[in-house]
Amino acid sequence: QLFGGPTYQLFGSGCGSHSEEFPPYIIDHPTDLVVRWDQPATLNCRVAGSPAPTIEWYRNGEYVETSKDNVYSQRTLLPDGSLFFLRLNQRKGQSDEGVYTCVATNHLGTASSKNASLYIAALREDFRLQPSNLLVTVGEQVLLECAPPRGHPEPTISWKKDGVPISQKVSSGKLLMVHAQRSDAGLYVCVASNQAGQRESKAALVSVLGEETVPSLGLAHWAWRSVDSQAALGCGVEGDPLPKVWWHKEHGELPWGRYENTLRIHYVTTFDSGRYICTAQNQVGTASAKASLTVQGKQLHTAFTASSMPGLGHAHGQQRDLSAQHTLLPACPGNWGRRKAVTCDWAHVTSLPCPPTSPISSGPL
Whole-angstrom Cα distance, residue 306 to residue 263? 14
Mean pLDDT, rounded, for 17-21: 68
User: Binning pLDDT at 50, 70 and 90, where does residue 38 land?
Assistant: confident
pLDDT in tens, 47-97: 999 999 999 999 999 999 999 898 888 899 999 999 999 988 877 778 899
User: Binning pLDDT at 50, 70 and 90, where does residue 333 land?
Assistant: very low
CA-closest candidate to residue 24, choices 99, 87, 113: 113
User: Binning pLDDT at 50, 70 and 90, where does residue 211 land?
Assistant: low
Highest mean predicted confidence (pLDDT) among 119-128, 227-236, 356-365: 119-128
CA-closest candidate to residue 144, choices 208, 193, 211: 208
Strand order in the sheet with 83-85: 41-43, 83-85, 75-77
Find out whether the peptide bond into 153 is cis, omega within 30 degrees of 0.
Answer: yes
Least confident of 11-15, 260-264, 325-329, 349-353: 349-353
DSSP 253: P
Cross-strand partners of 109: 106
Mean confidence (pLDDT) of the chain: 76
Whole-angstrom Cα distance, residue 112 to residue 269? 100
User: Binning pLDDT at 50, 70 and 90, where does residue 157 land?
Assistant: very high
Phi (first) and psi of residue 29, to 5 degrees: -85, 150
Cα dihedral: 257, 262, 267, 272 (round 10) = 100
What's the predicted TM-score (pTM) here? 0.47
What pLDDT score does 210 carry? 74
Q: Which long-range contacts (CB under 8 A, 24 or more apart) does 241-244 make?
A: 241/207, 241/209, 241/213, 241/282, 241/283, 242/282, 243/215, 243/217, 243/280, 243/281, 243/282, 243/287, 244/280, 244/281, 244/282
Whole-angstrom Cα distance, residue 74 to residue 42? 12
What pLDDT score does 306 carry? 38
Domains with residue ranges and CATH for the chain: 22-120 (2.60.40.10), 123-209 (2.60.40.10), 216-361 (2.60.40.10)
pLDDT in tens, 98-149: 999 999 999 999 999 999 999 999 999 999 999 999 999 888 999 999 999 9
The per-residue b/e assignment along 18-55, b for 16 or more CB within 10 angstroms, e otherwise, is beeebbbebbebbeebbbbbeeebebbbbbbbbbbbbb
Whole-angstrom Cα distance, residue 146 to residue 304? 60
Label the pairing between strands 258-259 and 244-249.
Answer: unpaired
CB atoms within 10 A of CB 254: 15
pLDDT in tens, 271-299: 888 888 889 888 778 888 888 888 776 43
216 has a pLDDT exceeding 70: yes
What pLDDT score does 257 carry? 58
Q: HEC profile for 63-74?
A: ECCCCCCCCCCC
User: Binning pLDDT at 50, 70 and 90, where does residue 212 land?
Assistant: low
Mean pLDDT, rounded, for 328-341: 31
